[in-house]
């Protein structure tokens, strides 16, 4: 069985995105949240520095992965992806949408205002939505490739 190029490319990007997103969700954001926990020593200073370092370090990965996810998804959509391919695109849309609507604006507010418990909870919820979207997108892409 020959896999269409658009599907193969999108599947690779979706899997890379899932690995990236899982790392952020499991390792990076919990570490940031611990700094913002009530009673954390030097919370504001530690948070600000950790958040700045995180933002600088992650920006190049985001600048590569998200445009690649959108571009490969658009290419796949134009080719008529079929059942599981549409699931892959839905997952990517959830991840990109959660980033645009919730995660990125919340990062901006936290950068300006500092880490309030409500903002940290919102960031963690948005991040879990991104992970769910990334997992759905990768699973759909793999199923489409195998199908």
Residue 43 pLDDT > 70, yes or no? no
CA angle (71 as vertex; 110, 27 as ends), nearest 5: 40
Of 117, 132, 144, 133, nearest to 35 by C-alpha is: 117
Mean pLDDT, rounded, for 127-146:
97
Quickly state the pLDDT bin for 127 (edges 50, 70, 90): very high
Residue 34 pLDDT > 90, yes or no? no
Task: For the chain, state the CA radius of gyration.
Answer: 17
Question: How many residues belong to the chain?
Answer: 147
Quickly state the pLDDT bin for 36 (edges 50, 70, 90): confident
Spell 66-99 as b/e; 16+ CB within 10 A means b. Answer: bebbeebbebbbeeebeebbebbbebbbbbbebb
Residue 17 pLDDT > 70, yes or no? yes
Q: List the domain boundaries for the chain.
A: 5-146
């Amino acid at each position: 069985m020959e896999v269409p190029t658009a599907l193969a490319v999108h599947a690779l990007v979706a899997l890379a995105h899932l690995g990236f997103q899982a790392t952020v969700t499991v390792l990076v954001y919990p570490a940031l949240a611990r700094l913002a926990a009530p009673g954390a020593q030097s919370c504001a200073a530690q948070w600000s520095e950790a958040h700045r370092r995180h933002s600088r370090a992650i920006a190049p990965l985001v600048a590569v992965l998200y445009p690649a996810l959108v571009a490969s998804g658009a290419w796949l959509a134009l080719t008529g992806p079929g059942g599981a391919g549409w699931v892959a695109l839905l997952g990517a849309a959830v991840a990109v949408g959660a980033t645009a609507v919730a995660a990125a604006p919340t990062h901006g507010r936290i950068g300006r205002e500092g880490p309030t418990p409500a903002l940290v909870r919102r960031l963690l919820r948005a991040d879990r939505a991104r992970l769910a979207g990334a997992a759905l997108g990768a699973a759909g892409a793999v199923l489409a490739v195998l199908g």
